[in-house]
Amino acid sequence: MTSFTPYSALLGGGIIATSVIILLLFNGRTAGISGIMHELLPPHYTHYGWRIAFLLGLVLGGFVFQLFSDDYAPPRQDSPLWLIGLGGFLVGIGSRYGSGCTSGHGVCGLASFSKRSLFATLTFMGFGGLSVFVIKHIIG
Amino acid sequence: MTILIGLLSGILFGLGLSIADMINPHKIINFLDIVGDWDPSLAFVMIGALIPSAIAFYWIRKRNAPLLDSQFHTSNLKHIDRPLMLGSATFGVGWGISGFCPGPAVTGLSFFNPEALVMVISIYLGFIVQKFIVKKLSP
């Protein structure tokens, strides 16, 4: 059980907004994290620099947070690692096939009023809810 | 300069995810579990992210080009097609199973969370397999 944290959620969301805004304003790029990760693979031989920097920044952002919060360790899911691996595998396939993930569709796409992204966001939330329902309430 | 902006944007994104505790897979699963102890925090993260960015994007898109490039590199796709449907559904199932999407998986590496590492590796495996499947299926 986790408690509802509206203020830190809104604050975190606002910081994510500044992140996606500067990336579009300066670089003209969408902060779609699955896309940025994917484009490090061949055959995308150009524009590696900002992508590597962005992913490095994502990790650094976690370190910056830890500088200001004493001994925060995010709880683990505590599912077996093979199950997490299966989840990651489906996240990888699905985000490529569906051209985006929570950041690309759920934030940048919705902020651009894209119908595709609205459809994608509702679909992955619906299926995410369905898989959690099956795991928690049916399999138990 | 685009590299510095990439770095700054990444740091802010990772910091925002951490402050909002979206790196905690339980927050994600409890958001998706609407019939359980529902935690609507993720919806508030999206509200906090979407309101400023929707307003800013509206103004930015009136420009002919971004500040550091000659053109925008954003998607022009309009149609809701089969790959979008099947891909998003597959993504959703994986998200529900793991409690991680790609951003929190990468930021989670800074917390030395082994689950985050497993996520990042398996996401890349998924990318590679997807590429293989699409190559086989498309004429």
Q: What's the complex ipTM?
A: 0.95
Tally A–B CB contacts below 8 A: 502
Q: Which amino acid is at B26?
A: H
Is residue A74 less than 8 Å (CB to CB) from chain B? yes
Asked if residue B57 belongs to a domain, the reply is no
H or E, element range at B66: none
Which residue segment(s) compose the domain that B111 sits in? Answer: 2-40+81-137
Asked if residue B71 belongs to a domain, the reply is no
Asked if residue A99 belongs to a domain, the reply is yes
Asked if residue A1 belongs to a domain, the reply is no
pLDDT by position in tens, chain B (length 139): 999 999 999 999 999 999 999 999 999 999 999 998 999 999 999 999 999 999 999 999 999 999 999 999 998 888 999 999 999 999 999 999 999 999 999 999 999 999 999 999 999 999 999 988 876 666 5
Residues 93-112 of A with CB under 8 A from B: 93-99, 101-103, 105-112
d(CA B139, CA B124) in angstroms, rounded, equals 24
- Residue B35: other Cβ atoms inside 10 A: 10
Asked if residue A116 belongs to a domain, the reply is yes
Query: What share of chain A in percent tops pLDDT 90?
Result: 82
Provide the H-helix boundaries in chain B: 2-19, 25-32, 41-60, 82-98, 102-108, 114-137
Number of domains within chain A? 1
Asked if residue A18 belongs to a domain, the reply is yes
H or E, element range at A126: helix A115-133
Asked if residue A50 belongs to a domain, the reply is yes
Asked if residue B50 belongs to a domain, the reply is no
> Which tens digits make up the pLDDT trace of A93-117?
999 999 999 999 999 999 999 999 9
Give the largest Cα separation in chain B, rounded: 49
Residue of B nearest to A53 (CA): B7
> Is residue A9 a contact partner of residue B20, using CB atoms and an 8 Å limit?
yes
Is residue B139 less than 8 Å (CB to CB) from chain A? no
d(CA A98, CA B119) in angstroms, rounded, equals 18
Q: Which two tokens stand for residue B22?
A: 């979206």
CB contact under 8 A, B72 and A28: yes
> Is residue B105 a contact partner of residue B116, using CB atoms and an 8 Å limit?
yes
Asked if residue B68 belongs to a domain, the reply is no
What is the predicted pLDDT for the residue at B135? 66
Asked if residue B56 belongs to a domain, the reply is no
Residues 20-49 of A with CB under 8 A from B: 20-31, 33-34, 37-38, 41, 49
Which residue segment(s) compose the domain that A68 sits in? Answer: 6-139
Number of domains within chain B? 1
